[in-house]
Amino acid sequence: MTEEFEKQEAGNVEETPSEGQAAQEQEHLEESNDTNDSNESAEISEVNELNEADVNQSENGFEQGEQQQEQQEPQEPSQEITTESVIEAILFASDEPLSAERLVNISQFNGGVKQVKKCIETLNQQYVESKRSFRIEEIAGGFQMMTLPDYNNWLKNMLKQRSDNKLSPAALETLAIVAYKQPIIRADIEAIRGVACGEIVRTLMYKGLVKIAGKAEILGRPLLYGTTKKFLQVFGLNDLKDLPKAEELKQPQQ
C-alpha cells in the first residue's frame, strides 16, 4: 500500500513541470509577444510612411499645378474680346492715368507698348467716326479717358465739387505763379503777388498740387517749390510744356 502511494506520488512529481521549464515557457511567450508587437509597430510605421508619401505627393502635385498656372503664357483675346476692347475696359475702370507700360502689365499683351499705343490710336479713331463724347488723352505721363470740352456745360450741372477741393482765387493765382516760374522760392512768390502766401503754399502742398523741389543756392538756402504729377492730372496736362502761353492767356478763346 505504501509502495503504491510512493509510486503514484513519484509519477505526479514527474508530470509537474519544473521551475526551469516554466521560466523557459514564460520567456518564450514574452518573446512571441514582443515579436508580435514589433511586427504590429512595423506595420503601423509602414502605413504612416505611405500616408505621408501620399500627402507629400498631393502637395507636390498642387504646387506643380500652381507653378504651371503661374508660368502659363498670357493668351491673346478671343474674337469676341479684342485687344482694343480690353484696353478700353481697363482705362474706363481706372480713376487715374495709366502709363503704356502699366497697361502692358495689366493686359499681358505680347505686343508690348507698341501694341498698346496702336490700340489707343484705333480706339480714338473709332470714337471720332462714331462721334463719341470722349477720347483717350495722354495725361501726366499716362493715358486716361476724358470727356470732350464741348460737353462741359452739361457736366457742370451734374458734378458738384466738394468744398475742400475748391481753390480760392488767391490759391489759383499762387499755383499759377509756381507752375510758370518753378522752381521758385516763397519770397519770389510773395514779391509777385505782393502779399504773404505761406499759408496758401501749405494748402497747395496739402492738396498735393505743389511740392518741395529742392533748395536754392543762395544765402539761407530757402526751399524751392514746384508742381506735382497730380497738378498735371487735375488740369489735364501731359507735360508742363502744355501750359497755355502768355499770349493765349491774354487772348482767351471766345
Q: In this structure, how many other beta carbons lie within 10 angstroms of the beta carbon of residue 130? A: 7
Residues 6+ apart with CB under 8 A from 147: 133, 134, 155
Q: Give the pLDDT of residue 15.
A: 45
Q: Give the pLDDT of residue 110.
A: 83
Q: Give the pLDDT of residue 86.
A: 92
**Angle formed at CA 209 by CA 204 and CA 213, multiple of 5 degrees:** 95
Cβ proximity of 179 and 219 under 8 Å: no
Q: Give the pLDDT of residue 79.
A: 63
pLDDT digits (tens, 9 = 90+) for 154-168: 887 776 655 456 788
Q: Please list the residue range(s) of the chain that carry CATH number 1.10.10.10.
A: 83-156, 161-250
For the 161-250 domain, the top CATH level (class) is mainly alpha
Q: Taking the C-alpha atoms of 74, 80, 84 and 85 in order, what is their torsion angle to the nearest 10 degrees? A: -100
Residues 6+ apart with CB under 8 A from 156: none
Ranges of beta strands (E only) in 9-105 are none
For the 83-156 domain, the top CATH level (class) is mainly alpha
Cβ proximity of 197 and 174 under 8 Å: yes
Ranges of beta strands (E only) in 140-222 are 142-147, 184-185, 210-215
Q: Give the pLDDT of residue 56.
A: 53
pLDDT digits (tens, 9 = 90+) for 181-200: 999 999 999 999 999 898 89
Q: Which amino acid is at 229?
A: K
Q: Give the pLDDT of residue 159.
A: 66
Q: Which amino acid is at 158?
A: M
Judged by DSSP in three states, 139 sits in strand
Residues of the chain with pLDDT under 50: 1-2, 4-17, 40, 44, 47, 50, 55, 58, 62, 65-66, 68-72, 163, 252, 254
CA distances, 116 to each of 139, 176, 246 (Å): 16, 34, 35
In whole angstroms, what is the distance from residue 143 CA to residue 104 CA? 12
